[in-house]
Structure 1
Amino acid sequence: MVKPISEDVHFRVLRVLNDRPGLSQREIAQELGVSLGAVNYCLRALVEKGQIKVQNFRASDNKLRYAYILTPRGMAQKAQLTGAFLKRKIAEYEALKAEIEAVKNEM
């Protein structure tokens, strides 16, 4: 059974592509610390959903490369995922802060 790609991975891919659309799939995978297959799967899903479009360009070494451009739909999705990401991380931070305080009180 294939594990679905998490919202966090989609968010992180959209975030990276927003800043650097010319990165290769391998570079995206290395930067995010996920597998190349996961990045490929995620990019295909984002293209199918109309959140990114793929454009060809020639790199300086004269090889064909791709640029992954966020569409208006992709920008909107990135904004939504950013809000959800922040909400999750703030909740994690608050829970961790409470746990640290409880451990301090035990000492």
Structure 2
Amino acid sequence: MIKAQKTIDPDIHFRVLHILEENPHITQRAIAQKLGISLGGVNFCLRALVEIGHIKINNFQKNSNKSAYLYLLTPTGISSKAILTTSFLKRKMDEYKALKMEIDIIKSKIKDLSLINGSSCQNAEY
């Protein structure tokens, strides 16, 4: 029987791996708060990451806090994080370039309008 692989948004995938690498003891609730997604979304993501072999989850059964977990990136997870980091950075740079171009066009239009209307936008901040 073939197991259907869960799909994770690449940005969330990258960010979760990054957070877990920095703090393997973090709670799912804290991850959800950092990412601005639901607790269920984080749980889904973590289960998918375990399923594809990017993280291992160890729970401390002798700990009085039964919900204490340690999230460890596997060698595959570390390798995947490097690839995700590169693609994340490329996407963000592309977004930045597109946004900068849009801002430059709007600035140009404002400047053209101010010349046509005879108003001064020299002190305007943008």
More strand by share: 1
Percent of aligned positions with the same letter in both sequences? 54
3-state DSSP of counterpart to 1:50: coil
Q: 1:26 aligns with which of 29, 33, 36?
A: 29
The number of equivalent residue pairs is 103
Q: What's the offset of the Cα at 1:57? A: 2.6
Aligned pairs for 1:1-107 (under 5 A) are 4-57=7-60, 62-64=64-66, 65-107=68-110
3-state DSSP of counterpart to 1:55: strand
3-state DSSP of counterpart to 2:70: strand
CA contact (8 A) 1:17 1:23 kept: yes
Q: Kindly report the root-mean-square deviation, in angstroms, between the aligned alpha carbons of the 2 structures.
A: 1.6
3-state DSSP of counterpart to 1:5: coil
TM-score by length of 1: 0.89
Unaligned runs of 5+ in 1: none
Letter in 2 for 1:99: E
Q: What's the offset of the Cα at 1:59? A: 9.2
TM-score by length of 2: 0.76
